[in-house]
A = this chain, B = another copy of it.
Amino acid sequence: MTEEALVVFTPSGRRGRFPIGTSVLQAARVLGVDIDSVCGGRGLCGRCQVVLSEGEFAKHGVESRACNLSAPGEVEQAWAHDHGPLLEGRRLSCSTEVLGDVVIDVPPDSQVHRQIVRKRAEVRDIELDPSVRLHYVEVQQPDMHVPSSDLRRLKDALDFDWRLTGLQADIRVVQELQGALRKGDWKVTVAVVGGEQIIAVWPGLREKTYGMAVDVGSTTIAAHLCDLQTGEVLASSGKMNPQIRYGEDLMSRVSYVMMKPGGEQEMTRAVRNALNHLARELAEEGGIEVNEIVEAMFVGNPIMHHLLFGISPVELGGAPFALATDESVRGLWATEIELEIHPNARIYALPCIAGHVGADTAGAILSETPYLTDAMTLIVDIGTNAEIVLGNRDRLLAASSPTGPAFEGAQISCGQRAAPGAIERVRIDRETLEPRFKVIGCELWSDMPGFDEATASTGITGICGSGIIEVMAEMYLAGIIDQDGVIDGVLAARSDRVVANGRTFAYTLLAGEARTLSITQNDVRAIQLAKAALYAGVRLLMDKLGTDQVDRISLAGAFGSHIDVKYAMVLGLIPDCALDQVASVGNSAGTGARIALLNRSRRDEIEEVVRRVDKIETAVEASFQQYFVDAMAIPNKRDRFPNLRTVVDLPEPKAKDPATAGGRSRRGRRDRRPGEDART
């Protein structure tokens, strides 16, 4: 009877009895324990390292029955010679034999399906499960006695060593195959995508492949370069979308296409060129060759998505806003979109959801996973349109609201893009109505010593989106504007910050020598319109879902990541929610792209989720208009914001004569201060 030993693997807990002399890697394979390997157990790649956690291993030359694992042999010595010594206690599992009962730990970096921990506690970690895997094989040389093609013998080796059967190979792989086999002396590494398709062959052992996750935004293209074996982000880069020269916002780009025949090809070329630049930058920063990138995963809004893939965006520019496709792109050749990475690399894109709700929103959903929770979750990504997703595991709704560009600083008299010199934080003294503020690029508040010197180089040039939110919310909290957004001219008597501006008033935020920055009545109106559109969209979805309450809010995108969620709620951009359940989640679209890049089953998951999202077109919903009117009030005409009131002292809404409610008809009541209840 063969002598056997018990082998237990941690952390999986899997165990089994194996004949003395079995390699640890073999035992792991039999038990289905997740240990990585590229070289197939030849002691070349060093990926299969394990730690002996109970038992001890023989010293070289003094092997004894008391030991549990064989001594480091020639293979491990050769590996250490090339790569430096193994960490203390580590062994190559392929070259280590079981001699007695043993407990073996598989460290996270030796697992294929390792976890990539995300910073935010409330979101799911990324489990690595790359679509592209590397397999090293030694291929039989051709033999006239058994005529067989190079591809056939390669497949035989992949079948024998890796149990990969029924693989397909592109003609492009076949074109490279002869050279790779002969250059590598019949030893090659093969990249297999999805366990089905050979997409690349390299001579010799190759241990790394890389992928790109890209969010093609209207303004910025953001990309990450990831190591597909570790999930690590090697480089990140952002680039202005060069389509901006055809129009700042989406609609002006669509107009360009409508006006100019061939305009879409021009814009398609522009974005593809930018992507090629970006890929080269990422490769350089990551210290790799650009043709080592074998996969790219894209997200983007519908218009960016369509232009990237050479589809006219014209239909998205007007009702009925029909997408050409709402399917994901799966495994397109990179050359098909002229992307100069590995010529046989594969392109993926998450699916667009509706005419105004794109693959970027699909990415945000994948990152925030509302479909996995009972909590009623709201995801809001604010740009020129706000994409809104609401729901939980039972049902998800998605819509887009036309917020316009006010949040981005456009339409605001002193508004500007977020850039050094822009005011981003504002506080207003409730008594004196004096403001203090912070500008981008300086850590000091404006009333702190040294502020003038610190901002001398940039100057104070305007106010960006987050600053606008804060100054308006503070104006409301200080009573400068009332619930209806009217600047109270009576205060001009109390503070010279409030000044007449034609037939309305303005609040002077900065009265400098170089520049005066004021918030005018028109500025307030512009923000009211924008936030009302956003809130009305949210309210519409809440209505559709029959809920009065959201449990969790994710503010996505550049805007969402800079605003103070409390002020956003004071102003009524978002509905009431426990403040600790509101998070700025950054570029969740890009995160979603990265998740889909690193985990192939997530691709299926998000496709399935997107298919069952209910798409709501706000333009055809009768109730949207009423919600919009209600949402013009600060924070909102109907909702009381109980959670917000626990942390902020909100002015009580005034009782009003319904006949005079609404914007311009309120001049007659400017003698009342905000916060005063008319009924008192």
Chain B neighbourhood of A143, CB < 8 A:
320
Q: A178-B315, A619-B144 are in contact. Are A322 and B150 (CB under 8 A)?
A: yes
A-B contact pairs, 13 of them (CB 8 A): A142-B322, A144-B319, A145-B620, A147-B354, A147-B355, A149-B323, A151-B327, A169-B325, A171-B309, A171-B336, A177-B325, A178-B311, A178-B322
Tell me if A579 is interfacial: C-beta within 8 Å of chain B. no
**Contact of B149 with A324 in the complex, beta carbons under 8 Å:** yes
Tell me if A321 is interfacial: C-beta within 8 Å of chain B. yes
A326-383: which residues lie under 8 A (CB-CB) from chain B? 326-327, 329, 332, 336, 352, 354-355
Chain B neighbourhood of A355, CB < 8 A:
147
* A143–B148 CA distance with the chains assembled, in angstroms: 57
Chain B neighbourhood of A517, CB < 8 A:
none
User: Distance (Å) between the CB of A265 and the closest chain B CB?
Assistant: 11
**Contact of A144 with B329 in the complex, beta carbons under 8 Å:** no
**Contact of B310 with A175 in the complex, beta carbons under 8 Å:** yes
Chain B neighbourhood of A179, CB < 8 A:
312
Q: A171-B310, A315-B178, A336-B171 are in contact. Are A324 and B151 (CB under 8 A)?
A: yes
Chain B neighbourhood of A617, CB < 8 A:
144-145, 147
User: Distance (Å) between the CB of A360 and the closest chain B CB?
Assistant: 16
Tell me if A544 is interfacial: C-beta within 8 Å of chain B. no
**Interface 1/0s, chain A 610-634, versus B by CB < 8 A?**
0000010101100000000000000
Q: Which of B149, B312, B326 contacts A148 (CB 8 A)?
A: B326
User: Distance (Å) between the CB of A506 and the closest chain B CB?
Assistant: 40
* A166–B263 CA distance with the chains assembled, in angstroms: 34
**Closest B residue to A309 using CB positions:** B171
User: Distance (Å) between the CB of A170 and the closest chain B CB?
Assistant: 9
**Closest B residue to A155 using CB positions:** B327
User: Distance (Å) between the CB of A441 and the closest chain B CB?
Assistant: 42
Tell me if A672 is interfacial: C-beta within 8 Å of chain B. no
Tell me if A152 is interfacial: C-beta within 8 Å of chain B. yes
Chain B neighbourhood of A67, CB < 8 A:
none
Q: A150-B323, A151-B325, A151-B326 are in contact. Are A175 and B619 (CB under 8 A)?
A: no
* A148–B325 CA distance with the chains assembled, in angstroms: 8
Q: Which of A149, A327, A619 has the most CB of B within 10 A?
A: A149
**Closest B residue to A398 using CB positions:** B147
A93-115: which residues lie under 8 A (CB-CB) from chain B? none
**Contact of A178 with B147 in the complex, beta carbons under 8 Å:** no
**Interface 1/0s, chain A 125-144, versus B by CB < 8 A?**
00000000000000001111
A626-648: which residues lie under 8 A (CB-CB) from chain B? none
Tell me if A116 is interfacial: C-beta within 8 Å of chain B. no
* A304–B147 CA distance with the chains assembled, in angstroms: 19
Chain B neighbourhood of A325, CB < 8 A:
149-152, 169, 174, 177
Chain B neighbourhood of A312, CB < 8 A:
178-179
User: Distance (Å) between the CB of A241 and the closest chain B CB?
Assistant: 21
Chain B neighbourhood of A175, CB < 8 A:
309-311, 324
* A2–B144 CA distance with the chains assembled, in angstroms: 72
A-B complex: 7 closest residue pairs judged by Cβ atoms? A142-B322, A149-B323, A149-B326, A142-B320, A151-B325, A147-B615, A147-B354
**Contact of B148 with A311 in the complex, beta carbons under 8 Å:** no
**Interface 1/0s, chain A 6-36, versus B by CB < 8 A?**
0000000000000000000000000000000
Q: A147-B321, A620-B145 are in contact. Are A171 and B332 (CB under 8 A)?
A: yes
Chain B neighbourhood of A620, CB < 8 A:
144-145
**Closest B residue to A326 using CB positions:** B149
**Contact of A309 with B174 in the complex, beta carbons under 8 Å:** yes
Chain B neighbourhood of A178, CB < 8 A:
311-312, 314-315, 322, 324
Chain B neighbourhood of A322, CB < 8 A:
142, 147-150, 178
**Closest B residue to A351 using CB positions:** B149
Q: Which of A171, A311, A319, A321 has the most CB of B within 10 A?
A: A171
Chain B neighbourhood of A145, CB < 8 A:
617, 620
**Closest B residue to A616 using CB positions:** B147
Chain B neighbourhood of A319, CB < 8 A:
144
Chain B neighbourhood of A169, CB < 8 A:
325, 327
Chain B neighbourhood of A324, CB < 8 A:
149-151, 174-175, 177-178
User: Distance (Å) between the CB of A600 and the closest chain B CB?
Assistant: 18
**Contact of B149 with A320 in the complex, beta carbons under 8 Å:** no
User: Distance (Å) between the CB of A164 and the closest chain B CB?
Assistant: 16
* A325–B312 CA distance with the chains assembled, in angstroms: 39
Apart from A152-B326, A177-B325, 8 more pairs, CB < 8 Å:
A144-B321, A147-B321, A147-B617, A149-B323, A149-B326, A149-B352, A174-B309, A179-B312
Q: Which of B314, B323, B329 contacts A171 (CB 8 A)?
A: B329
A505-535: which residues lie under 8 A (CB-CB) from chain B? none
**Closest B residue to A153 using CB positions:** B322
User: Distance (Å) between the CB of A27 and the closest chain B CB?
Assistant: 36
A148-197: which residues lie under 8 A (CB-CB) from chain B? 148-152, 169, 171, 174-175, 177-179
* A152–B354 CA distance with the chains assembled, in angstroms: 11
Chain B neighbourhood of A144, CB < 8 A:
319-321, 617, 619-620
Chain B neighbourhood of A177, CB < 8 A:
324-325
User: Distance (Å) between the CB of A400 and the closest chain B CB?
Assistant: 10
User: Distance (Å) between the CB of A267 and the closest chain B CB?
Assistant: 14
* A147–B399 CA distance with the chains assembled, in angstroms: 11
* A314–B142 CA distance with the chains assembled, in angstroms: 14
* A326–B174 CA distance with the chains assembled, in angstroms: 10
User: Distance (Å) between the CB of A552 and the closest chain B CB?
Assistant: 26
**Contact of A311 with B151 in the complex, beta carbons under 8 Å:** no
